[in-house]
Amino acid sequence: MCGIVGYVGREEALPLILGGLERLEYRGYDSAGVALIEKGKLIVDKKVGKIRELVKSLWGKPYKAKIGIGHTRWATHGAPSEENAHPHTDEKGEFAVVHNGIIENYLTLREELKKEGVSFRSNTDTEVIAHLIAKNYNGDLLEAVLKTVRKLEGAFAFAVITVHEPERIVGVKQGSPLVVGIGKGENFLASDIPAILPYTRNVITLSDGEIADITPEGVNIYDFEGNPVAKEIMIVPWDIISAEKGGFKHFMLKEIYEQPKAVGDTIRGLVSEGDLPFSLKDFRRILMIACGTSYHAGLVGKFWIEKYAGVPTEVVYASEFRYADFPVSDEDLVVGISQSGETIDTKFALNFAKERGAKTLALVNVVGSSIDRESDYSLYTHAGPEIGVAATKTFTAQLTALLFLAVKGSEREEEALRSIMKIPSKLEKTLELSEDLENLALKYMKKKDFLYLGRYLSYPIALEGALKLKEISYIHAEGYPAGEMKHGPIALIDENMPVVVIAPKDRVYEKTLSNIEEVKTRKGIVLTVGYTGDERLKKISDEFIAVPEVEEDLSPFVTVVPLQLLAYHIASKLGLDVDQPRNLAKTVTVE
Ligand code: AGP
């Protein structure tokens, strides 16, 4: 999953492109590069490592180009290296391409081009695009691109420039995200909105099968057959401040603290968006499909939907869904939960379900994202842009939307919505715990393995707490149903194993306490998350993290926050790159 930026206009392109790439770095960062056109020449500069390596190599170079494209890479084909970094060019260095996605038939295309005498410099899939466009070029860049895209299979968003037309960028969108920024006498291309927010809020979101033909004077959109496509310009509501750190050390910490607002904005947004065009009871079964943290949100949502709507609900990993023999039918509602709305596993799984007649509902944080546009219905979280790779505020915002979905139309709707409205103040209170968690982090940051345990609504929170820790601190952590411990994992327990147990006073509280006793008799270190004033729990805990008491349904909102903070402070104290952990990307647009 990579980030693309393009600029053509009257300003110097380089600083604008580098600024855009820095705001896209969360999408992937093992190499970066730019291509500029100046005095009829194509200038390409690319470096392994983060954007700052590229900036250093460009420092002081007198480039004044008014057109360019840039790329930050998360390797899919070809290891991170300078020759595999984008942009890629044709043999004569007259065309440059930056690409996000996978050309699934690139090996065939590569062999065909090699037979025609083309020599390759990299082993990426992207390079074939540059050679094909050069081969198809006959005086019109758009025509060359139209001929090229017909030969490509897979998911691709790419931008191309050529020395033959030094005031034109052509961008293509198929399967991976691409937006156009409309300026005055200048125009932009980017993988994601935050890249261009400082320069314009006027954005066109391209759909699959669309091509943007961009010059300083204007933007024209076509389909892959070359037919003009009318698109509306969206005024982006986010302001760049909300996409900056706001005084926090990391985006992740800022976003943890934004959760009261994210939950409040989401429930207000959902209530104002009015009634849903369907009732859950219209369906035989609800299938929730997602990845990572969004999958954990789905596991919580399952309990609420079955409780309030009484409809059988399954939660399936998107990457598993398409390859099993799920009996999907038009009696199913398939919910795609995805904060980015671009996760390719989730997107493909939803398409798979739709082809089999199911109705699809997108639960996304980005309006106009692929999953949003390709679903029959959409519910939006209003968490604002989440830049930290580790999902936090979008998770609690997803919980809000799922609880809203579950109670909508039930006899307890009014009462439940009133309870949800109280969550932001409960979260504000919970966030006061940060200092305690910082001290706990100091104490346990050197541990090599953690177990997270929970029952019922706390089991998905155990999974989420474990994921947060492992993805930003690189410490092995496993979430487990507390009742499952005796069926094997309890063998892991010893005096070196911190065991985090989520134990709100809910229907499984007594059972959870006995699981804690099982851990203690095997000398495990027990860190518990429970309600303020729960002396019984505190007494049997080595570490007791007190959160405000809430009614049973709402416990996930308050119990997840200390786990987010614990993971954050451990990773921060280990001096790791909290916002851009190794090997990860914010949005995974490859299968
Ligand atoms: C969560 O912290 C991770 N960043 C990752 O598991 C993420 O939740 C997953 O990739 C799904 O992303 P999505 O919500 O944008 O689809």
Q: Is the CB of 563 under 6 A from ligand 1?
A: no
Angle at the Cα of 211 from the Cα atoms of 207 and 214, rounded to 5 degrees: 120
Q: Is the CB of 580 under 6 A from ligand 1?
A: no
What is the structure's pLDDT at 205?
93
- Following DSSP, what letter does each residue of 469-532 receive, concatenated? HHHHH--EEEEEEGGGGGGTGGGG-STT-EEEEE--SSTTHHHHHHHHHHHHHTT-EEEEEEET
Q: At what angle do helices 259-272 and 413-430 cross, to 10 degrees?
A: 160
What is the structure's pLDDT at 387?
85
Question: In the predicted model, is pLDDT for residue 242 greater than 80?
Answer: no
What is the structure's pLDDT at 435?
86
What is the structure's pLDDT at 1?
63
Whole-angstrom distance, CA of residue 335 vs CA of residue 137: 43
pLDDT bracket for residue 500 (50, 70, 90): very high
Read off the pLDDT of residues 380-432 as tens digits, 9 standing for 90 and up.
998 988 888 999 999 999 999 999 999 999 998 999 999 999 999 999 999 99
Distance 51 CA to ligand 1 centre (A): 23
Distance 337 CA to ligand 1 centre (A): 10
Instruction: Show the tokens assigned to 250.
Output: 């990391």
Q: Indicate the top mutation candidate among 343, 392, 398 to test ligand 1's pocket, ranked by most ligand atoms within 8 A of CB.
A: 343
* Among protein residues, the one whose CA lies closest to atom 13 of ligand 1: 338
Q: Is the CB of 293 under 6 A from ligand 1?
A: yes
Range list of β-strands (E), 49-94: 67-73, 88-89
What is the structure's pLDDT at 589?
73
What is the structure's pLDDT at 591?
77
pLDDT bracket for residue 237 (50, 70, 90): confident
Read off the pLDDT of residues 519-572 as tens digits, 9 standing for 90 and up.
999 999 999 999 999 999 999 999 999 999 999 999 999 999 999 999 999 999
What is the structure's pLDDT at 192?
87
Question: In the predicted model, is pLDDT for residue 163 greater than 80?
Answer: yes
What is the structure's pLDDT at 266?
94
What whole-number percentage of the chain has pLDDT above 90? 76
Q: Is the CB of 339 under 6 A from ligand 1?
A: yes
Question: In the predicted model, is pLDDT for residue 240 greater than 70?
Answer: no
Ligand 1 atom nearest the C-alpha of 588 is 10
Q: In what order do the strands lie in the sheet with 525-531?
A: 476-481, 449-454, 498-502, 525-531, 543-547
Q: Is the CB of 294 under 6 A from ligand 1?
A: yes
Question: In the predicted model, is pLDDT for residue 73 greater than 90?
Answer: no
pLDDT bracket for residue 443 (50, 70, 90): very high
Q: Are 34 and 17 in contact (CB under 8 A)?
A: yes
Read off the pLDDT of residues 170-194 as tens digits, 9 standing for 90 and up.
999 998 899 999 999 999 999 988 8
Distance 561 CA to ligand 1 centre (A): 17
Q: Residue 401: which residues within 8 A CB-CB, separation 6 or more?
A: 266, 270, 363, 379, 380, 381
Q: Which residues pair with 587 in a beta bridge?
A: none
Question: In the predicted model, is pLDDT for residue 247 greater than 90?
Answer: no
* Among protein residues, the one whose CA lies closest to atom 3 of ligand 1: 390
What is the structure's pLDDT at 127?
96
What is the structure's pLDDT at 155?
87
What is the structure's pLDDT at 8?
98
Instruction: Show the tokens assigned to 490.
Output: 């309890």
* Among protein residues, the one whose CA lies closest to atom 6 of ligand 1: 292
Distance 346 CA to ligand 1 centre (A): 10
Angle at the Cα of 291 from the Cα atoms of 458 and 584, rounded to 5 degrees: 105
Higher pLDDT, 136 or 26: 136
Per-chain mean pLDDT for the chain: 92
CA torsion sign for 333, 338, 342, 343 is negative
What whole-number percentage of the chain has pLDDT above 70? 97
What is the structure's pLDDT at 241?
59
Q: Which residues pair with 13 in a beta bridge?
A: none
Q: Is the CB of 291 under 6 A from ligand 1?
A: yes
What is the structure's pLDDT at 100?
92
* Among protein residues, the one whose CA lies closest to atom 7 of ligand 1: 292
Question: In the predicted model, is pLDDT for residue 295 greater than 70?
Answer: yes
pLDDT bracket for residue 83 (50, 70, 90): confident
What is the structure's pLDDT at 274?
75
The region of weakest confidence among 19-28, 260-269, 368-377 is 19-28
What is the structure's pLDDT at 285?
97
Q: Is the CB of 127 under 6 A from ligand 1?
A: no
pTM (predicted TM-score): 0.74
pLDDT bracket for residue 53 (50, 70, 90): confident
Query: All domains of the chain, ordered by start, with CATH?
Result: 3-240 (3.60.20.10), 245-421 (3.40.50.10490), 431-580 (3.40.50.10490)
What is the structure's pLDDT at 113?
97
Q: Which residues are catalytic?
A: 2, 586
For 113-133, give the secondary structure using H, E and C. Answer: HHHCCCCCCCCCCCHHHHHHH
Task: Give mean pLDDT, residues 349-372.
Answer: 91
What is the structure's pLDDT at 400?
97
What is the structure's pLDDT at 26?
63
Angle at the Cα of 223 from the Cα atoms of 70 and 151, rounded to 5 degrees: 75
